Structure 1
Amino acid sequence: MPRKNRLWREGSILHITVRGNRKEDIFKSQEDYCVYLRNLQHSIKFYNNEFQILSYCLMTNHIHLQIETKSVHIKKLMGKINTFYAKYFNNKYDYHGHLFQGRYGSRIIDSDSYILEVSRYISLNPVRANIVDKPEDYKWSSYPMLIGKKKEKLINSDRILSYFIQSKKRELYRMYVEDAMR
Structure 2
Amino acid sequence: MSRKPRIYFPGAIYHITDRGNRCAALFYDDRDRKKYLGIVEEAHSQYPFHLHSYCLMSNHIHLLLETINHHPQQIMSMINTQYAIYFNRRYEFIGHVFQGRYKASLIDSLQYFLEVSKYIHLNPVESGLALSPESYPWSSYNAYISSNHPNPLVTTEKVLFYFPEPKIENYRLFVEETKAER
For residues 179 and 27 of structure 2, what CA distance do their matches in structure 1 show?
26
Q: Counterparts in 2 of 1:74-153, with a 5 A limit?
A: 74-148=72-146, 150-153=149-152
**Equivalent residues, number:** 179
Aligned match of 1:162: 161
1:34 and 2:37 are equivalent in the alignment? no
Q: Deviations over 1:47-86 (max 9, x none)?
A: 2x2x110000000000000001112111000000000000
Shift of 1:97: 1.2
The alignment's TM-score, normalised by the length of structure 2, stands at 0.95
Shift of 1:96: 1.2
Aligned match of 1:13: 13
Unmatched 5+ residue regions in structure 1?
A: none
The alignment's TM-score, normalised by the length of structure 1, stands at 0.95
Give the percent of matched residue pairs that are identical in Structure 1 and Structure 2: 45
**Contact 1:19–1:100 (CA under 8 A) maintained in structure 2:** yes
For residues 103 and 56 of structure 2, what CA distance do their matches in structure 1 show?
15
**Contact 1:146–1:152 (CA under 8 A) maintained in structure 2:** no
Q: Deviations over 1:104-129 (max 9, x none)?
A: 00000011111100000000000000
For residues 153 and 56 of structure 1, what CA distance do their matches in structure 2 show?
13
Shift of 1:9: 1.9
Describe the SS at the equivalent of 2:51. strand
Moved over 6 A (4+): none
Describe the SS at the equivalent of 1:56. strand
Aligned match of 1:178: 176
For residues 143 and 28 of structure 1, what CA distance do their matches in structure 2 show?
21
